[in-house]
Each structure stands twice: as structure tokens, then as C-alpha cells.
Amino acid sequence: MSQDEVLRFLADPATHDGTPPERLETHISVIFLAGEKAWKLKKAVKLSFLDFSTLALRHAACLSELAVNRDAAPEIYLGVTPVTRAADGALRLGGDGEVVEWLVAMRRFGQTDLLSELLRRNQVDRALIQQVAAATWQAHQAAAHRPDKGGAAGLNWVIDTNATALTAHAHILPTARTRSLTEASRAAVVRLTPLLESRRANGKVRWCHGDLHCGNICLYQGHPTLFDAIEFSEDIACIDVFYDLAFLLMDLDHRGARILASHALNHYLDLSGDYLGVTLLPLLLSLRAAIRAHVAAAMGQADDATVYLDEALAYLSPPRPRLLAVGGLSGSGKSRMGRELAPFLAVPGAAVVRSDALRKQIVGAGLLERLPPQAYDAKTGRRTYAALYDICETLLRAGHSVVADAVFAKPEQRAAIAAVAARAGVPFDGLWLWTEPELAEQRIQERKANVSDATVDILRRQLTIDLGPMDWSRIHTGGSKDEAVTAGRAALCL
């Protein structure tokens, strides 16, 4: 039967105890919001990447959607409900008659609580986007490993699927440009195959969300919640975790929130230590933009489709890498400076490699876990700085800009980080941040949920260090935070 009768039934206020429902629609689903519930119907469509053409296939997809979303959003996903035909021919929700359609039953949340809507109202700050990044990382940690998927073959499948879909909309998306995108994407996969295959073999391909844009993240009971994960295709869902993250980063960037995208990226790095994933970003961001281009074209949104295509091509030509080192004693504002400058150095931001986060990754501690004094002995310090130099050089050689965030109080440490840039053949800048000791002490005492374990006693010991000759640009951070960042940008000619 046609779904039109079911759609009329779901649109009828009588179906929802007299409450007129609100209707939302995508290219594959129709959702009706009424009272405290949402009812999601899968359209009877067959596309290159999914098949909902029969009732049995839609039922299986509803069950799968429930299964893949309940871990991340257990309070939102309630079950699978049939639409049935009673003996009198009338349709019912969950009745005993013949099943004519299947719906995913969900607990309704305010559309104003979608991350996309919060962004539109400028209500997303660094703290919230870091919570989103943490929720993403936690979902990845819990996800099942799928080494049978992903890797170079997985991304080539994405490129082929995109190429077919883009070509189908040649009246909106010029064939010459989509062909160039496809060719450049395939070349990137060839170049990145060793890393992609290494990551696949080492547990970085997992059953992920698969559709992690800002419209599929909401604030539910005050917490970022990922919902509407891909249920209909293992090829789309079983992917490298950085490909999953890349959808969020691309969508933030597309919405004019590159600074937030940079914050999300770098908080994910602090939590995961997965720095090598950064080297895949130009390709992964491009693939995500290409998907949005053909989806927008399919929905008749020609202007949006063209913008996404432009972005997909631009991501594959990232800016030249450079290395910025930000040093200073505890409480001088290093981490804020590094975070704020990162979006001006790369797309969506330079990788901020922080000694405080690295030290905790090395000893296997949580990001906010306070380490014992022995974790700050000379041996661990040398290991931390050595790891910082190595990660920075690896990322620079792969073509991505880096911010190195550490105290860098010793001349030999500053020389070593400058040498990293020289070996990688990229420009280097060093910023030395300083402020009055009394203000630095106050900042340390006021810290909450901070990665740094620095105390006032540690600062006082640092103040006795002979810094030696200082050839880095000195930035006073005793005024407002905005003034300090402005001075940092000026020193880098940004």
C-alpha cells in the first residue's frame, strides 16, 4: 500500500489525543512530533546506499535504529511501534490488526535544544562544544571494533558512492568540478593508504554514529546526546573514528563556527591522544562536505549544494603548515592562547599538542585526574617533551600546522622545538607569555576542572629558573584575555 494513508493518519490530531502534530522531513524519513513523543516513519525509498522499499525492510531498519542508538541515547529511544489496520478499516498506533507500517517511537525533546539551533542562536561556547567532543570520544570508546570495514577500501567506497550521486545532479553541480573532486579524493586515498590500513588494523575502525552533524546532537536533560545514528548501512557506520568526528568538524566549519570546530578537535585530541588522525582531515572533511553537497542537491537546495562542493574542493588544498610554540610559566595563559590561535593556522584548527595532556596520556591517567608527584620527575618530564617533539614533527611533515603548548622554561627546550620546525622545513614562531606573579597565583588558585596540575608552589619554583636568552616574542597577559590574544595574533601577523 502507499504510505500516503499512514502519513495522513499520523498528521491527524486525533491520532495524538487531539494534539496537532509538528511534521519534520528528511530525504529518507518523516517525523511527527506530538505531546511528549516523536514518531519516525521511514520512507519507502530505494537509494544507492539504502533500501526501505518493503515493509519488512523498514521493520528491520526500525529495529536496527533502536539497537544502534540506545547506548548513546537510551532515554530518547523508546521502541518500535506498528501502525495497524483494525477490523473496521481504521488505522491504529500499536493495535492488534494487520501491520501496515512500522515506526520508531521516541521521547520528544525541544527542537530548540538541537546543537544546530543552539549554534544559530549563538548559544554554544567552548565549554559546551568540549562536552560534545567528550560525548563523541566516549561513544567511540564504547563502540565495537570492525577491522573488516573502513581503511582504504572503505573510503574508496565512499568516493565511488559520492561520485555516482554527484553525477546524478549535473544540472546543479558541474561535472568538471565533481570529476576533479573525485580524482583528487582518490589520489589522497592512495597517498594515505598506509596510515588508513594501520589504523584499521589497530582498532580505529569501529561501529560509529556515521551521521554526526549538528542536527543529530541535542542537549537532553542538560547533557549533549548523540542520536539518529546510521542503522541502514554498515559501510556508512563502520568507519574510522576520525571520519566520524570529521562530520561534526565539517558541519561546525560550514556553519561559520571554525573556532568551535577547532576547540572540538583539540579536546578530542586531549582525551584520545589520537594525533595521527589529524593528518587525514583534509580528505575526511572533503568527503563529508561532498556528501552534504549531493544530499542538498537531491533535496533541490541548489545554493547549499554549490557551497558544499566549493568547500569539499577547498579542504583538499590546506594551507601551508607552520609550527607555533607557546611557552610561559604556570598561570601565564598558555593554553588559552594556543587554543585561540589554532583556528587561524589550519582548517579547522592547528593541532594543539599540550604537555599537560601528553603527560597524562603517557602515564595512562584521565585528563582531569591529578597525578602524583612522581609523575613530574625529571625522567617523565624528558619523556613528555620527547613525545611532544615527535608528535609535532610527524604532523608537520604530514602537512598540518601545530601549536606546541608547554612551559619551555629551559633554553634547550626552546631550541629543541625550533629544531623540529627546521627539520620539517616549515616556518616557526615562539611566543613567551608572562604576567605578574601575583596574578598568575590567583589564576592557579581559581582553576576548576583544569588539565594542568600546577600549584602555587610549582609556580614559585619556576620563578627561580634562569630562563636564559629569550628570542621568542614576549606577550604580556596581565590585561584582558582578548587583549592578550590580539597581541598574539599581531606577533604572528594573523
| Residues 337 and 447 placed together within one structural domain of the fold | yes
Per-residue pLDDT band at 454 (split at 50, 70, 90): confident
DSSP string, 32-85: EEETTEEEEEE-S-EETTEE--SHHHHHHHHHHHHHHHTTT-TTTEEEEEEEEE
Residues in the chain: 494
Q: Domain check: are 141 and 30 in the same one?
A: no
Q: Taking residues 5-33, report their average pLDDT.
A: 95
CB 133 within 8 A of CB 269: no
pLDDT band at residue 190 using 50, 70 and 90 as cut-offs: very high
* Mean of all residue pLDDT scores within the chain: 95
Q: Which of 266, 299, 315 is the last residue of a domain?
A: 315
Instruction: Flag whether pLDDT at 372 surpasses 90.
Output: no
| pLDDT tens figures, 392-434 | 999 999 999 999 999 999 999 999 999 999 999 999 999 999 9
Mean pLDDT of 295-302: 93
pLDDT at 383: 94
Domain count, the chain: 3
What CATH number should be reported for the domain holding residue 242?
3.90.1200.10
pLDDT tier for residue 446 given thresholds of 50, 70 and 90 = confident
What's the pLDDT band for 493 if we cut at 50, 70, 90? very high
Question: Is 378 a residue whose pLDDT tops 90?
Answer: no
Q: What is the pLDDT of residues 191-204, one digit of tens each?
A: 999 999 999 999 99
pLDDT in tens, 243-258: 999 999 999 999 999 9
Domain encompassing residue 455: 323-491
Tell me what the mean pLDDT of segment 169-195 comes to: 97
For residue 374, pLDDT over 80 is answered with: no
Whether 48 has a pLDDT exceeding 80, the answer reads no
Mean pLDDT across 323-342: 96
Whether residue 335 sits in one domain with residue 294: no
Whether residue 71 is found in the same domain as residue 145: no
Q: How far is CA 132 from the centre of its chain?
A: 8
Given a contact cutoff of 8 angstroms between Cβ atoms, the answer to whether 79 and 86 are in contact is: no
pLDDT grade for 267, boundaries at 50, 70 and 90: very high
**Inter-CA distances, 405 with 84, 334, 388, 411, 464, Å:** 61, 7, 9, 15, 21
Instruction: Examine the fold and report which residue of 108, 131, 146 is the final residue of a domain before the chain moves on.
Output: 108
On whether both 86 and 207 belong to a single domain, the answer is no
Of the residues 108, 143, 174, which one is the last residue of a structural domain? Answer: 108
C-alpha span between 264 and 133 (Å, rounded): 5
Task: Band the pLDDT of 334: cuts 50, 70, 90.
Answer: very high
pLDDT confidence of residue 37: 95
pLDDT at 180: 98
In this structure, the answer to whether residues 164 and 280 fall within a common structural domain is: yes
Sign of CA dihedral 377, 378, 382, 388: positive
pLDDT at 136 over 90: yes
Q: What pLDDT sits at residue 70?
A: 87
Same domain as 310, residue 281 = yes
Which residue is listed with cell 499520523?
Answer: 10
Q: Say if residue 178 is in the same domain as residue 307.
A: yes
Q: What is the mean pLDDT of residues 123-141?
A: 97
Q: Do 125 and 265 fall within a single domain?
A: yes
pLDDT for 50 equals: 86
pLDDT bin (cut points 50, 70, 90) of residue 228 is: very high
414 and 364: one domain? Answer: yes
First to last CA, the chain: 61
Query: Do 103 and 47 have their domain in common?
Result: yes
CA distance 39 to 73: 16
Enter the DSSP assignment of 378: H
Q: Do residues 476 and 356 both lie within one domain?
A: yes
pLDDT at 95: 85
* pLDDT number for residue 2: 83
Report pLDDT for 370.
87
32 residue type, one letter:
F
